[in-house]
Amino acid sequence: MQNDASYRKTFLISMLVVFLTQAYMAIFMLYPSVLRSQGFSLGISGWLMSTFNLCSTLGRPLGARATERIGIRKTLIWTSGLVAVFTVPLAFTDNPLLLLVLRGISGAFWGISVVAISSYQGLSIPADRRGSAFAWASIAYVFPQVTLFPLADWFASSGMLLAFSALGAAVEVAIVPAGLPLPPVRREGGSGEPRPWGAWRELPSLPGFWAVLASMFLFAFVNSSTLQYLPTFLTMKGYAASVFVVPNAFMAVALRLTAFRLMDKIDRKKAIGPVISALGTVLVFLPLASSRGWFILGGLVYGVAMGMAFPIILALMPDIFPDHLRPKGISLCFFAIDLGYILSPFVMGYGGQVLGLGKILSITGVLGVLGGMALLAAWRTHRQ
């Protein structure tokens, strides 16, 4: 058992790794805008975004196997370095097929690296600290939107494609020295010896298994639609993407800094549905905003809901899955999250071409409101 000083050090290192991993995703939230500046249609943009997410999804089961077979740290370091290798060439081609291949390969390795660091945190954070710890950890997920996103936004809006791609590669390269000091985690069975890893077939029988997967998918679909395509909607209206993204990130971070202890006390299973409904409500009305101030206000309100949503999502994974099934369970949760990220670009891209991007964003918001209500009922049924 780690003492408090050792635990804090390990936790801070893992937060740094999460920050760098999520910085890559935050930077590439702007990729649809970059592709638009290169002359690609919303439909092609949807394919390139979805390919990354699809391959990331396919990499999740491999991530569980790799972490169990070769260890979490080795998996994390190797896959992060390979993401960087396949990101740099994005700046040197406008061939859609080659871009598709590069996005697919980098997506697969990125997906494996996320399983590795998420499994590490799930195994190393004590159950009684899980809510507050993941509230802090979730700050690392959103903090890139406050720090690196404005720089990436400047690169993208200024047409500096090489600088944009190099920034994405740099954060992945930085994971290598950041992850080296991570100590191994211990799993103990009843005799004090490591319990054998569980089998995939054990997962569906766990209480809450299907409800947690549905929660992951709906959260990802609504949030990815917002964060990946609202910036494009804003640029189409003549605003910088930062007018929404930065206030959202600041509010989410502020809430997690001031109310992190609340995450240990709330009923996470009962809360996730209403919180997703709140995200959807903001998305319903935000495309109707008529001024910069309304987009800033919308970002702040969305940030309140996100400040609650993502810590709950992260903590629900180890809540549901015991230690010996945690890498596999977490990989399936991220698989469900990835499905949301895969489908949302298709819906946004082709739906935006037919109905207009603003209308399809509002329709997605309605889905979030109704789906969140359904999740509340599903978790209540599970508790009964």
- Per-residue confidence band for 57, with pLDDT thresholds at 50, 70 and 90: confident
Say what the pLDDT of residue 190 is: 46
Task: Quickly state the pLDDT bin for 349 (edges 50, 70, 90).
Answer: confident
What is the distance between the alpha carbons of residues 29 and 251, in angstroms, rounded to a whole number?
Answer: 19
Percent of the chain with pLDDT over 90: 23
User: Would you say residue 190 lies in a domain?
Assistant: no
In whole angstroms, give the CA distance from residue 225 to residue 352: 11
For residue 96, being part of any structural domain is answered with yes
CB atoms within 10 A of CB 237: 14
Contact criterion met (CB below 8 Å) for 120 and 72 = yes
- For residue 194, being part of any structural domain is answered with no
- pTM for this prediction: 0.69
Alpha-carbon span 200 to 294, nearest angstrom: 47
**172 has a pLDDT exceeding 90:** yes
Q: Which domain holds residue 301?
A: 4-182+203-383
197: in domain: no
How many structural domains are present in the chain?
A: 1
Residue 105 Cα to chain centre, angstroms: 18
Asked whether residue 107 is domain-assigned, the answer is: yes
- Residue 324 placed within a domain: yes
Residue 140 lies in a domain: yes
Q: Which residue has the higher pLDDT, 365 or 196?
A: 365
Residue 312 has a CB neighbour count (10 Å cut-off) of: 24
**Residues 243-290: tens digit of each pLDDT:** 888 888 888 878 877 766 676 677 788 889 999 999 999 999 888 887
Answer for the pair 198, 26: CB distance below 8 angstroms, yes or no: no
- CATH of residue 347: 1.20.1250.20
Q: What is the pLDDT of residues 74-125, one digit of tens each?
A: 888 999 999 999 999 998 888 889 999 999 999 999 988 988 888 888 777 7
The reply to whether 314 falls in a domain is yes
Residue 318: partners with Cβ closer than 8 Å, 6 or more residues away: 122, 125, 127, 130, 326, 330
Which amino acid is located at 298 in the chain? G
Q: What is the pLDDT of residues 197-221, one digit of tens each?
A: 777 788 888 888 888 899 999 999 9
